[in-house]
Chains A and B, each alone.
Chain A
Amino acid sequence: MDTAKLLTEFVTGSIRLVTKGNRYYWAWIALLLTLIVSGALAYWDQVSEGLVTTAMRDQVSWGLYIGNFTFLVGVAAAAVVLVIPAYIYHWKPIREIVIYGELLAVSAIVMCLLFVVVDIGRPDRFWHLFPPFGFLNFPGSLLAWDVLVLNIYFVLNFVIVTHILYRAFHGKAYDKRIVVPLVLLSIPMAVGIHTVTAFLFNGLAARPYWNASILAPQFLASAFCSGPAILLLVLQLLRRFTQFEIRDEAIWKIAELMAYAMFLNLFLHGAEAFKEFYSDTEHLLYTRYWFLGLGEHRTLVPFAWTAVALNTLAFFLFVIPATRRNWITLNIGCLAIYFGVYIEKGMGLIIPGLTPDALGEIYVYLFTSHEFRVAAGVFSIGFLVFTLMLKVAVPISLGEFQRARAA
């Protein structure tokens, strides 16, 4: 078989697919490209002037970028929620949509890696992390672990989806001997990327707010609601704008699973809040800063309670069968989870973790417009990658985009 010819056929076909679309598609692409250009310009300033263009300082040395990174690791881990029932319990309706979970994981990891790159002070030295030219402090540094597991998870998901789609492109079913073991491996890997990311914070005794062993389970619980929340919205859009069929019961099943995950998330948060407030040690300071404010410093308080309200609302909407089967309340629930977890895992984790700082100073961090533009640019790159992959993947799995059959 002439592989080169097949590949050319696949590439030219894909290009034809992504350059075809209706008004909404082009408006969406134009929006993403605009945000990417704006982000790139802001990043250029950041590279030439240094991280002074951000609001981060010695006191609060991580901010919006690392918050987004943490949130997106959760989104990337979320594919597993769909994978477990699909492959272990042979639950058919979810099985056909697993591939979109994996595409989402790939796009999320792209954003994760970009957020790390934009956060570091010397992106020109990124290669210092990669042996043999660089030096990776493994197993000492949890950041080294994170670099490893994120890249492995990325490759794993990329290989799975590429294999399935490439076979489908040739009109063949995927090879079970390859896909099933890889999918099974991706389950512990998904748990792994989020556990390692939690440990990255968890291991720092200098920051009592992070130094709680509840952090990793709570990361997993919140990830298992935020990732599927995005996916549920995407699946509905797909169903609307393509021939793709997704059965209602698959969507409802995912929503039900999300309700349990959200319950666990709220429970673990409650457990941590109880410990802090009841024992009332000097470590309460950080939790207090998030929920109640310290003195006149109350910037984060509205965000904290918004997150709690959104997460609680979403839990009730998803646990009650009538509201999770109603499309309006279901979508309200999805948005509530997305923003609730985004606040809680982003600024709710990073900022109180670092405020007050190690010597007790309160530096009020609020990201700058430069930081916001860079972050929006990174998100846009991720969404663009996701959109383009969907544009190719959907016709393939529908059997609309296939290699011309030999006579």
Chain B
Amino acid sequence: MTVPRPENDLDLSRRKFVSVAAAAAAGWLLTSCGPKRLHDVPRDRLMERIREMEAKYAEELGTAVTVSDAGPLPGVEFAYALDISRCIGCRRCVYACVEENNQSRDPQVQWIRVLSMEKEGGVDFSDSDPYYDPETVPEEGHFYVPVQCQQCQNPPCTKVCPTGATWTEPDGIVVIDYDWCIGCRYCMAACPYGARHFNWGEPHIPAEELNTNTHYLGNRPRPKGVVEKCTFCIQRTRQGRYPACVEVCPVGARKFGNLLDPESEIRYILENKRVLVLKEDLNTLPKFFYFYGT
């Protein structure tokens, strides 16, 4: 082994200068330039970012919008169950979701899609109709399958995102960073449930219909050119409330709860009812279950 030569003063001071400069540059990169993804932003800096969002909304929309930074609750993993035998296809969930989550009214964006299917055919997407429009629902011989983000445990959408703008939160909710998404729509091609929606035009919401109670990963107003989707109403559920679609359902077909709580309604359904998930063969492991309650 060779003995390292003692460095002369000049070398040492140069090395010191270089390392100090490198550290300063790295520090500058980390603070002023990055991290830019909300996924990487430390909590203390997150509040700053959120204040910036609120200021921007106040200026652009002329109303005070509160943006919550509520994090995931420990010991909570959300799951959803929908009773196919009860759903009457009234689409109240669709519109409650639009209002709660500030989806664009023009052009129309809807996170929930209710499919009408024929009882004879069973669950068959190729024979389903999302545009059913009879005088009254339910229609004879039909049943309804509402589809929204299935909050997969093995989500194909987050894997394909080239900029890491979408990810799964610790409580199981798949979220999107609207400030980081570049709008390539690869996630939309990857989603087997048509759950992801793109802002093809500038989203418009009448000022008086804006829900000003928002979350930074959820229903805060989005710009054009980015993807959005159901977040299990993250702004409500992280505060212990039900998603808007669960509350509005007139027949109680929608159930929601904590998968990790053995006493929860969702666990009762999973353990005692006939449960299915959509496109099981794709191994996406949805946390959105369908069941036959009766």
Q: Tell me which of B162, B193, B197 has the highest count of chain A C-beta atoms within 10 A of its own C-beta.
A: B162
In the assembled complex, the Cα of A207 lies from the Cα of B192 at a distance in Å of: 7
- From the candidates A49, A136, A353, A354, name the one contacting B163 in the complex (CB within 8 A): A136
**Any chain B CB within 8 A of the CB of A125?**
yes
B117: nearest residue on chain A (CB-CB)? A360
A358 to B29, Cβ gap below 8 A?
A: no
Q: Which residues of B contact A (CB under 8 A)?
A: 29, 33-37, 40, 107, 113, 115, 124-128, 130, 147, 156, 159-165, 180-186, 188-194, 196-202, 223-227, 282-283
With A135-B37, A204-B160 as known contacts, state yes or no: A52 contacts B182, CB within 8 Å: no
Q: Is the CB of A136 within 8 A of B162?
A: yes
A-B contact pairs, 7 of them (CB 8 A): A49-B201, A120-B183, A121-B224, A204-B156, A204-B189, A353-B189, A359-B115
Q: A51-B200, A61-B189, A135-B37 are in contact. Are A360 and B163 (CB under 8 A)?
A: no
Q: List the B side residues contacting A121 at CB < 8 Å.
A: 181-185, 198-199, 224-227
Contacts of A129 in B (CB 8 A): 162-163, 182
CB-CB under 8 A from B184, the residues of chain A are 116, 119-121, 143
Determine the chain B residues whose CB is within 8 A of the CB of A188 once the complex forms. Answer: none
Residue among A51, A59, A354 with most chain B CB within 10 A:
A51
How many angstroms between the C-alpha atoms of A121 and B178 in the bound complex? Answer: 12
Minimum CB–CB distance from B59 to chain A (whole Å) comes to: 19
Q: Which 9 A-B pairs have the closest CB atoms?
A: A121-B183, A121-B225, A360-B125, A206-B192, A52-B201, A143-B162, A358-B194, A50-B201, A50-B224
**B160 CB contact (under 8 Å) in A136, A141, A285, A357:** A141
Say which residue of A49, A133, A206 sits within 8 Å of B202 (CB atoms).
A49
Answer yes or no: A392 CB below 8 A from chain B CBs: no
Interface residue tally for chain A (C-beta within 8 Å): 49
Shortest CB-to-CB span from A64 to chain B, Å, is 14
Residues on the B chain within 8 Å of A359, using CB: 113, 115, 125, 128, 130, 147, 193-194
Contact of B182 among A61, A125, A140, A357 (CB under 8 A): A125
* Chain B residues whose CB sits within 8 angstroms of the CB of A52 once the complex forms: 107, 200-201
B282 with A128: CB separation less than 8 A: no
Find chain A residues with CB under 8 A from B199 CB: 50, 121
| A 39-53 contacts with B by CB, 8 A | 49-52
A281–B156 Cα gap in the complex (Å)?
23
Residue interface bits A115-126, CB-to-B below 8 A is 1, else 0? 010011110011
